[in-house]
Amino acid sequence: MIRYAALTLSCMLAASLAHAETYPSRPITLVVPGPAGGTPDAVARMVGEQLRTRLGQPVVIENKAGASGFIGTQAVARAAPDGYTLLMGFAQTMAVSPATYKKLPYDPIKDFEPVARLVEFELALATPASVPADSLPHLVSWLQAGRGKYSYGSFGAASPSQFAGDMFNRAARLDMQHVPYKGSAPLVTDLVGGQVQFGFLVLQAAQQLAQDGKLKVLAVTGARRQPTAPNVPTMAESGYPDVNATGWYGLYAPKGTPAAVVSRLETAVRDALDDADIRQKLVSQGVNAAFAAHAELAGYQRAEIERWRGIVAQTGFNVQD
C-alpha cells in the first residue's frame, strides 16, 4: 500500500512537471470581469502583452462584464485548471463582495489559486468645479452649512467608492444622501454637472477631468501622496485617517492548477513588473505596480476580506442576499 501511494505520488509529480515544461503550448485567455475600456482593461492588456513576451504564447483578453463582476469571475472558477484560463481579480470581486453579499456564485478563496498581485491604486475625492471649496476642510464647512441639501455619488452599490463616501460622510457628520451609479461613467457625468457634490473616483480619471477644469481633486485615500498628484493631500493628512478605501488587481487561476504552472506564471509577472517601462505605463493609468507572490497574495486577500468586513460593519451597510 505504501509503495503504491508513493508510486502514485511520483506519477502525479512527474505529470505536473511535464505539464509545466510544455506550458504554455497554446494561447492563454485572461478574463477581465468588467467592460472593455477603462483602467482594468488597460492594465489587463499591458500585463497580457508582458506575459506574451515572457511565455511565448498570445494572451487573449476576454471582457466578461455584468452582475458586479460575478459573471466573469464565476466563469474562471468553472474553467479547466490547466493554466490556459486566468482571471484578473479585483479587490471588489475577491475581497469586498465576500463582505457585502451573503451568497456568491463562487468562493473567492476555495475556487482559485492566487498567482500574483499586480497593482494597487488609490481613490480620489473629487467635487464639481462649481463647488466653492479648494480644500477638504473648506468642503466640509460648505457641506455642513447646507446640511440636508446635498448628496454624494459612488460608482456602484457596495463598492469601495461607496464605502469611502460612507466613511467620510459619517466622520465629517455631513448627513448626506448616497446615490449609487452603475459604473464610473454616469457618476462622472453627474459630478461634472453638479448633481452630486462629491464622489470617490480612480485617481487617474479624476485628474484628467481636473486638468480640463471640470472637477477638483481634494484628497486621495491611502497611506501616502501619489507620485502623479504630489500636491494632493491624503485623507489622513486632511483629518480623516479612517477613510482608507484602496483597490488592487491580482492574477488568479482556477483551483487545482498545477503548482509548477502557477510558479511559472508568478515568475513571469514578477519579471514584467520589474521592468521600468511597464511600471511607468501603469502609473500613467493611475495604478502602481505592487507585485506579491502566490503565498503572499493568498494571505493578503484573506486580510483584505477581514478589513472590508470591518469597514462594512462600521458603515452600517446591510449585507445583501
Which CATH number belongs to the domain containing residue 256 in this structure?
3.40.190.150
| Predicted structure pTM score | 0.84
Read off the pLDDT of residues 68-79 as tens digits, 9 standing for 90 and up. Answer: 899 999 999 999
* Angle at the Cα of 304 from the Cα atoms of 184 and 103, rounded to 5 degrees: 75
Question: Among 2-6, 62-66, 210-214, which stretch is predicted with the lowest mean pLDDT?
Answer: 2-6
Quick one: 87 and 132 in the same domain? Answer: no
Do residues 112 and 255 touch, judged by C-beta distance below 8 A?
A: yes
Q: What is the mean pLDDT of residues 276-282?
A: 94
**In which residue are the cell numbers 514584467 written?**
272
Quick one: 175 and 141 in the same domain? Answer: yes
Residue 158: pLDDT band with limits 50, 70, 90? confident
Count of the separate structural domains present in the chain: 2
Confirm whether 146 is domain-assigned. yes
Confirm whether 43 is domain-assigned. yes
Residue 111's domain comprises 29-120+247-315
Confirm whether 150 is domain-assigned. yes
Confirm whether 229 is domain-assigned. no
Q: What is the mean pLDDT of residues 245-269?
A: 96
Q: How far apart are CA 225 and CA 320, in angstroms?
A: 34
For the chain, counts of helices (H) and of strands (E): 12, 11
Q: Which of 2 and 63 is assigned the larger pLDDT?
A: 63
**Is the model's pLDDT at 21 over the cut of 80?**
no
Quick one: 97 and 174 in the same domain? Answer: no
Quick one: 67 and 104 in the same domain? Answer: yes
Q: What is the mean pLDDT of residues 173-198?
A: 92
Confirm whether 143 is domain-assigned. yes
Residue 8: pLDDT band with limits 50, 70, 90? low
Q: Write the CATH number for 198.
A: 3.40.190.10
